[in-house]
Amino acid sequence: MRRIALTLEYDGTHFAGFQRQAKGERTVQGVLEAALAEIPGAHPRVVAAGRTDAGVHALAMVVHYDTEDAIPPEKIPAALNTRLPGDVRVLRARVAPPSFHARKSAHWRAYRYRILLRKTPSALLRHRVLWHPGPLELEAMRQGLSYLVGRHDFRAFATREKRDTERVLYLARLRLRGQEAWLEFVGSGFLRGQVRAMVGSLLEVGAGKKPPEWIAELLAGLPRAEGGPTAPPQGLYFLAAGYRPWPAVGEP
């Protein structure tokens, strides 16, 4: 028996999220496990480093599965990609130690949210970015981001979360790339809906509706209802999972 770790890229536009759904909706896990079921010896149950929502994309999602096949790891991507739909691709495969767990072994996870800053929406990027036609106060957003770094109770940014809401955010930054603003986050883990709720709140700050200090007030323990709206899914990307403590060489 071998444990295989895969790195996936996928377009979340036509998926109901990563995780398999009770009503049989199309999911990344579902199509990947269906492809693995066609390989003799593979045990088609995959575990992911994170669970993306419907419409959310991934540039490098790590998953693992177990198998009794003897396919060389360098040939696994091609073997699976011929069986996968075009909106999911296996980028890399490697043999992992038996103790490796895509979710439990991860020390950190990274996300990016893309915001298109121009007067007209994009026909080509409508499923890839959030379009924001008006100006944003970027320095105010950067100040708001600074409050998020560290260990906090993120309950004001959690949706239907039953777990403990304390998490550690190692990095929260804003970068400009052409006509886009990228909000990037690296943390020990993220609550359900946390990244999109943080983005929605930061957009309230950027639009001048709230001062940057409002982010600190939310972290003081206010409930989710006191936070900003949840940003739509199409601008969000799972960037990476790290299996060494942060900070890491080659950080996203």
pLDDT, tens only, 111-130: 999 999 999 999 999 999 99
Q: Is residue 28 part of a domain?
A: yes
Question: Are residue 148 and residue 206 in the same domain, yes or no?
Answer: yes
Q: How far apart are CA 193 and CA 165, in angstroms?
A: 12
The rounded mean pLDDT for the chain is 94
Name the domain boundary from 96, 124, 159: 96
What DSSP assignment string belongs to 14-28?
GSS-SS--TT----H
* Token digits of residue 17: 């999220």
The pLDDT of residue 228 is 85
- Give percent above pLDDT 70 in the chain: 98
**Domains in the chain, number:** 2
Q: Name residues whose C-beta falls within 8 Å of residue 101's C-beta, 6 or more positions apart in sequence.
A: 47, 64
The pLDDT of residue 229 is 93
Pairing of strands 166-177, 150-153: antiparallel
Pairing of strands 236-242, 57-67: parallel
Short-list 58, 78, 80, CA closest to 67 = 80
Question: Are residue 38 and residue 153 in the same domain, yes or no?
Answer: no
The pLDDT of residue 250 is 53
Q: Is residue 8 part of a domain?
A: yes
For the segment 155-181, the average pLDDT, to the nearest whole number, is 91
List residues bridging with 114 in a β-sheet. 182
Structural domain that includes position 228: 108-242
Question: Are residue 83 and residue 123 in the same domain, yes or no?
Answer: no
Digit-coded pLDDT (tens) for 222-245: 777 778 899 999 999 999 999 999
What DSSP assignment string belongs to 96-146?
E-TT--TTTT-SEEEEEEEEEESSS--SSSTTTSEEE-S---HHHHHHHHH
The pLDDT of residue 252 is 56
CATH code, domain carrying 44 = 3.30.70.580
List residues bridging with 180 in a β-sheet. 116, 177
Question: Are residue 79 and residue 143 in the same domain, yes or no?
Answer: no
Name the domain boundary from 76, 96, 116: 96
Which region among 40-54, 141-155, 188-202, 211-225 has the lowest average model confidence (pLDDT)? 211-225
Please confirm, yes or no, whether 66 is among the known catalytic residues.
no
- Calculate the alpha carbon distances from 15 to 92, 131, 146, 150, 234 in Å: 22, 21, 33, 32, 11
Residue 62 vs residue 135, higher pLDDT: 62
* 58: pLDDT strictly greater than 70: yes
Alpha helix stretches (DSSP H) within the chain? 28-36, 76-81, 138-148, 194-206, 213-219
Name the domain boundary from 62, 96, 130: 96
Question: Are residue 67 and residue 149 in the same domain, yes or no?
Answer: no
* 59: pLDDT strictly greater than 60: yes
* Token digits of residue 104: 């439990």
Catalytic one of 53, 69, 87, 164: 53
The pLDDT of residue 251 is 56
For the segment 50-55, the average pLDDT, to the nearest whole number, is 94
The pLDDT of residue 226 is 77
Q: How sure is the predictor about 161, in pLDDT bands with cuts at 50, 70 and 90?
A: confident
Q: How far apart are CA 239 and CA 237, in angstroms?
A: 6
Question: Are residue 112 and residue 204 in the same domain, yes or no?
Answer: yes
Question: Are residue 180 and residue 58 in the same domain, yes or no?
Answer: no
